[in-house]
Structure 1
Amino acid sequence: MIFMVWATMFRLVLILVAVTGLSCTWMALADPLNPLVLFTVQSNLMLAGYCSWRVVTRRRPSTGVKGAVTLYIVITGLVWHFLRMRGANPFEHLSLTGPGLGNFLLHYVTPIMAVIDWLAFDRTAPRPRWAAAPAWLAYPVVYMVFALVRGALLPPHAWKRYPYPFLNVDRFGYGGVLLMAVALAVCFALLGYGLIALHRLVNHRNRTAVDSM
């Protein structure tokens, strides 16, 4: 029971962090619909929604759904840090308000907290299947198709016509974008397998500890 209370409190903090980051992002832009095209915003909305559902219902978790949400938010953090920020110091552009705070919360704090949740809580949940990792890629693939179709339909100077530089067809062409997408898909699949492996390792150690008591 105490463990469930700690899990609920942790998820409430995670929801607060995500909502604060999303609010900073929304307030920085004039058009309230624009942020919705960003993978960052979508993945953090998924995370906040999932955590809210867990807090309200307290049902036995589905490791498939939780793993997918965790993977998407980790992708958000890694893509931002290594492809957008090129490994720069995450505290360099941190501020107490505005986009600086929003970027830090949405790209660093929520991904780290999501991984902690993935490994520390729901220890009695069924182990995630290895086959789940490639299945989790369905949403990133759909997002890429959405981003490319949206970019093709918008005028050249539209805001975030291509939400991320590696999706910029004008610069790389469809062939170049497809090549980068395949490379990212392989990385994301390996990341998914890594999350599953870590979850299984932690779950195995917990079960071994319980059996030895």
Structure 2
Amino acid sequence: MAGFSLRGLFTRRGLIAVAAILGWFGLTVQLYLILLLRWEVGASLLGGLVNFFSFFTVLSNTLVASVLTCALNLRISRGQAFMLRPAVSGAVAASIVLVGLAYSLLLRHLWHPQGWQWLADELLHDVMPLLFLLYWWCCVPKGELRFKHIGLWMLYPVLYFAYLLLRGNLLGLYPYPFIAVDKLGYPQVLLNALGILAGFVLVSLLLLGLDHWLGRRQSRPL
């Protein structure tokens, strides 16, 4: 039986494994904290689970951890092949970069988490965006993205926003202050959403440009 090897840890596959573990760990800690708080106040744990998956940060980090896990080739399947498509990895990269930017620009100053919440916060908003961007840069085949992909990628934040409006209308709960219709009103919330969508498109265009540039570099003869 092979022993633990630092050399094995720092192979490309080993680094992807570390990134995947950190992603799932951050999500697990955040879920535990939400459920613990619900338990302490006697609220529904099922409601806590729904609340957990109502955050764009959680959904995007789940996609990140899933892609990284698929990249380990632990099991060959159609689902794995789909998740590893450059267009899918590009969509996930755009989404998780948006998570990091939006949090730093709009939300970080609103609270100061401590302890395990701080750890989960750092992993989901800072560490995983950087790690997945590094994975996308080094491990995802380049030169396959097209402008049409950005239109498809936009469906994710648009459908998510529509879900938040529907959920907020039914429950009066909004996971982010910049989409709180009860406090800001629909005109301001729609304006905020358009601004964030514009940021997503800009990030996507940047990734598209990098994809084309790196694809040309890789195709040049030595």
- State the TM-score, normalizing by the size of structure 1: 0.83
- The residue number in structure 2 matching 1:196 is 208
Query: CA offsets per residue over residues 183-212 of structure 1, 9 Å max, x none?
Result: 22112111101011112222322322xx12
- The residue number in structure 2 matching 1:179 is 191
For 1:17-56, list aligned pairs within 5 A: 17-30=22-35, 31=45, 32-33=48-49, 34-56=51-73
Q: Is the 8 A contact 2:86 2:144 kept in 1?
A: yes
Out of 7-16 and 65-74, give the one that drifted further.
7-16
- The residue number in structure 1 matching 2:174 is 162
Quote the offset at 1:138 in angstroms.
0.4
Quote the offset at 1:114 in angstroms.
0.9
Aligned length: 195
- The residue number in structure 1 matching 2:17 is 12
Tell me the secondary structure at the aligned position of residue 72 of structure 2: helix
- The residue number in structure 2 matching 1:137 is 154
Quote the offset at 1:134 in angstroms.
2.6
Tell me the secondary structure at the aligned position of residue 28 of structure 1: helix
Whole-angstrom CA distance in 2 between matches of 1:122 and 1:82: 28
Quote the offset at 1:59 in angstroms.
4.9
Q: Is the 8 A contact 2:93 2:136 kept in 1?
A: yes
Unaligned runs of at least 5 residues, structure 2 = 1-9, 36-44
The one-letter code sitting in structure 1 at the alignment partner of 2:157 is: P
Q: Is the 8 A contact 2:60 2:96 kept in 1?
A: yes
Quote the offset at 1:52 in angstroms.
1.6
What is the aligned counterpart of 2:93 among 70, 77, 98?
70
Whole-angstrom CA distance in 2 between matches of 1:136 and 1:128: 11
Give the direction of change, closer, same or farther, for the CA distance of 1:94–1:167 in structure 2 (3 Å limit).
closer
- The residue number in structure 2 matching 1:84 is 107
Quote the offset at 1:94 in angstroms.
7.4
Query: CA offsets per residue over residues 75-134 of structure 1, 9 Å max, x none?
Result: 111111111015x9xxx9576x511000000001110011111111134x5521122123
Whole-angstrom CA distance in 1 between matches of 2:55 and 2:189: 17
For 1:146-157, list aligned pairs within 5 A: 146-154=163-171, 156=172
The one-letter code sitting in structure 2 at the alignment partner of 1:99 is: Q
- The residue number in structure 2 matching 1:128 is 145
Whole-angstrom CA distance in 1 between matches of 2:13 and 2:185: 46
Unaligned runs of at least 5 residues, structure 1 = none
Tell me the secondary structure at the aligned position of residue 128 of structure 1: coil
The one-letter code sitting in structure 1 at the alignment partner of 2:201 is: A
Percent identity over the alignment is 29
